[in-house]
Amino acid sequence: MKHKLFLILTGILLCSTLFAQTKFKGQVIDALTKEPLEAAVIEIKELNKNILTDKQGNFSVASSSEKLNLTITSIGYTTKQTEIENNKLIVVALERGNINLKEITLLSSGGANAIFKTISKIDLDLRPVKNSQELMRLVPGLFVAQHAGGGKAEQIFLRGFDCDHGTDVQVSVDGLPVNMVSHAHGQGYADSHFIIPETVNNIDFGTGPYYTSHGNLNTAGYVSFSTFNAIDKSRVQIEAGRFNTFRTLAILDLLKKDKVKQSAYLAGEFNYTDGATISKQNFNRINIFGKYNLAITENTKLSFSASTFKSKWDASGQVPTRAVESGMIDRFGSIDPSEGGNTSRYNANLIVNHSFNNGLNWENQAYYSRYKFNLYSDFTFFFNDPVNGDKINQKEARNIFGYLSKLSSKKNYNDWTITGTCAAGIRYDATQNTTLAHVVKREFLENIKLGNLREVNAFVFIEKQISNRKWNINVGLRDDYFNNSYFDKLSSNPSPSRNKTIISPKLNIQYSISKSTQVYVKAGKGFHSNDTRVVVANSGSQILPAAYGADLGIILKPTDKLLLNVAAWYLYLQQEFVYVGDEGIIKPSGKTRRTGVDIIGRYQFTDHLFATVNINLTKPRSIDEPKGQNYIPLAPAVTSVGGLFYKAKQGFNGGLSYRYIKDWPASEDNSVIAKGYFLLDGTINYSKPKYEIGITLENIFNKQWNEAQFDTETRLKNETNPVSELHFTPGIPFFFKVKFAVLF
């Protein structure tokens, strides 16, 4: 308790010293939606200084001058010059324009992660997003695979991790957590399908465990989606494609006139597809999302959003290689076509932000989620039960409550700017009847595991950033406390709750060699909590394995048209115990070490033609195993995503995008190889102020490929002995979809 009290007191003292007595203040907003623009660049000629706007679009600077001349730029907006007077608040509205890499400025004041927010903003604008799975693919270095017809959360690969469905990557939207801790199917399960892609305004991301505001599950990295506070036009859209695929979308602006005082919109979508498999997926999903923003006073802003999501599907499951090669089934066939499930989620998210006159900013967030999950899977067929088969049912019902309070401010000392942040928060998860059951054709046979989970994560963190024209030094400290309890309904012996605390220091240093070159070093400690059932079963021992990482990177802008980022990195994970939800058992995974290089490139050929490339090279290995036996199954070594895009405000636009993954090990000794692939997709749109038509193409060359792949020991119905080999879900063949949208 002493170190917790110390951290809290330190945070209070830190925040109390960071009151910025500035004379010049302003805000940068979108001229159409009146939405604040984060990371807009403010060039101040008199001071020979550049600064960035914060999350609320605000900026401030101290000077003895009576007037300052400002040049304001933001990606995708027209540059504007204006004058600001002493002690007068100015609001600058930027008009939308073309994307221009020339406007990207390498600033030390933005921190080592600022450039990545800009990159994601460019990618989101260049590449039309078809679904929430495509949103994840926009994150440089992140690779996803789907193996349940769109119903389950995607399998995520990042920095040499097979993150399963989210174990080592933290995902959120508007600060609302997407990951489900101690989930029935797997730790950190991150089903982002409740996000309507057209409502996403920006994607913030970071690789490695270096970010103080991101705690549990942030080992390989984090992804943070932000939705629009306001929209400029309403939209009604219809899409139809191959495999009896169709989608309807509506986004309605509810308050068109007074966007400065308040704004509101409502979005909804419905999806259906039979899929490419012989057994129809009968996949359907409905999403509804609404958001309301209110300026209570000039300094107090309120944002409230609510959403609902329901999905239901059938799945063909994983296909054994031998069944296809023998002609027993087609590669789009199935051993057990009765897999599938249904899921739903309801969210409410309230954020209140108040800016004090002395420069202190106070943000409070409260959220609630109601979640249900019901999944039928068959991974081993008749391996354990030669009569009924091995199909399992995993299900749960869950309530999530969360609260976060954050104070931040900044202070200027000559050429130095000092920014401080302190925060405290809590997340509480409670499940009812978390189940692992043996079933046959979705009919119950017996419970394997059944119980109620309670998990509390309370945390505090403090962060201090010191920057000038050359340097940006960010130091942070985070303290997480966990309380885990599990009521096992199949056992007569109650288990006591378990407590554990972990402290995570972070350090980010950035140095601007010139206006075109920056170097940075990141170092930090992160973690992912283990499943509550593991925590209780292991009596609280080794339940918060730490991750220690470091990055050394360089950001280059050698010309106005080229942006490059190259980073070499290292990540070490301690011994951990993982709950295998599909089997209801605990398996140790041992210590691991990953090293790699990430490359991000963006190039602008003309005003409208752009090229993007992300290349990720990784060497993931187990530490305690002998050489040749130390491969980490399904940890990819080489991935790359990129494309060529044409973007215009009106008329034709679109592009070609590729994704590539090299053959990678599916077993510890590399004897079973998951097959790599190279795919090419395309989009063509014709846009006018009142309407838009377009076509989407996937797998243009109709390649035969495997999406999700696993080395699994299975036994088919007429087999005497089990066989261990590669199992897969077939990747989609050539697919097309057309759309027609009306804007008003």
User: pLDDT tens digits for 599-637?
Assistant: 999 999 999 999 999 999 999 999 989 999 999 999 999
How many angstroms separate the CA atoms of 527 and 331, rounded?
39
User: pLDDT tens digits for 229-275?
Assistant: 999 999 999 999 999 999 999 999 999 877 788 999 999 999 999 99
User: pLDDT tens digits for 648-663?
Assistant: 988 999 999 999 999 9
Q: How far is CA 281 from CA 286, 377, 705, in A?
A: 16, 14, 19
pLDDT band with cut points at 50, 70 and 90 for residue 586:
low
Query: Which run of H or E residues covers position 211?
Result: none
Whether the pLDDT of residue 12 is over 80: the answer is no
Burial of residue 514 (CB within 10 Å: 0-12, 13-18, 19+) is exposed
Whether the pLDDT of residue 16 is over 60: the answer is no
**Ranges 124-138, 412-426, 431-445: which has the least confidence:** 124-138
Question: Between 534 and 596, where is the model more confident?
Answer: 596
What's the mean pLDDT in 429-438? 97
Burial of residue 81 (CB within 10 Å: 0-12, 13-18, 19+) is exposed
Query: What integer pLDDT is reported at residue 647 of this predicted model?
Result: 93
Question: Between 48 and 566, where is the model more confident?
Answer: 566
How many angstroms separate the CA atoms of 134 and 127, rounded?
10
- Average pLDDT over the chain reads 91
Q: Are 80 and 40 in contact (CB under 8 A)?
A: no
Query: What integer pLDDT is reported at residue 669 of this predicted model?
Result: 94
Query: What integer pLDDT is reported at residue 656 of this predicted model?
Result: 96
- Tokens linked to 625: 């195993």
How many angstroms separate the CA atoms of 423 and 389, rounded?
51
**Ranges 488-497, 549-558, 702-711: which has the least confidence:** 488-497
What's the mean pLDDT in 192-196? 95
Q: pLDDT above 70 covers what percent of the chain? A: 94
How many angstroms separate the CA atoms of 253 and 259, rounded?
10
pLDDT band with cut points at 50, 70 and 90 for residue 579:
low
Whether the pLDDT of residue 411 is over 60: the answer is yes
Whether the pLDDT of residue 1 is over 70: the answer is no
Whether the pLDDT of residue 18 is over 50: the answer is no
Query: What integer pLDDT is reported at residue 11 of this predicted model?
Result: 47
Question: Between 149 and 205, where is the model more confident?
Answer: 205
pLDDT band with cut points at 50, 70 and 90 for residue 581:
low
Q: Cβ neighbours of residue 500 under 8 Å, at least 6 residues apart?
A: 481, 482, 484, 535, 540, 543, 544
**Ranges 346-355, 396-405, 582-591: which has the least confidence:** 582-591
Q: How far is CA 321 from CA 35, 86, 176, 287, 389, in A?
A: 52, 73, 40, 36, 19
Whether the pLDDT of residue 17 is over 70: the answer is no
pLDDT band with cut points at 50, 70 and 90 for residue 543:
confident
Whether the pLDDT of residue 393 is over 80: the answer is yes
DSSP assignment letter at 102 = G
User: pLDDT tens digits for 287-326?
Assistant: 999 999 999 998 999 999 999 999 999 999 999 999 999 9
Whether the pLDDT of residue 438 is over 90: the answer is yes
Query: What integer pLDDT is reported at residue 724 of this predicted model?
Result: 95
pLDDT band with cut points at 50, 70 and 90 for residue 164:
confident
Question: Between 38 and 158, where is the model more confident?
Answer: 158
Q: Are 570 and 595 in contact (CB under 8 A)?
A: yes
Whether the pLDDT of residue 421 is over 50: the answer is yes
pLDDT band with cut points at 50, 70 and 90 for residue 110:
low
Whether the pLDDT of residue 19 is over 90: the answer is no
User: pLDDT tens digits for 629-641?
Assistant: 999 999 999 999 9
CATH number of 2-97: 2.60.40.1120
Give the torsion sign (CA, 258, 263, 264, 267). positive
User: pLDDT tens digits for 349-368?
Assistant: 999 999 987 779 999 999 99
How many angstroms separate the CA atoms of 269 and 281, rounded?
19
Most confidently modeled range among 85-94, 387-396, 411-420: 387-396
Domain residue ranges in the chain:
2-97, 142-147+155-164+168-743
What's the mean pLDDT in 43-55? 83
Q: Are 316 and 338 in contact (CB under 8 A)?
A: no
In three-state secondary structure terms, 101 is helix
Whether the pLDDT of residue 594 is over 90: the answer is yes
CA nearest to 290, candidates 308, 313, 307 = 307
Q: How far is CA 80 from the centre of its chain?
A: 33
The domain covering 142-147+155-164+168-743 belongs, at the CATH homologous superfamily level, to TonB-dependent receptor, beta-barrel domain (2.40.170.20)
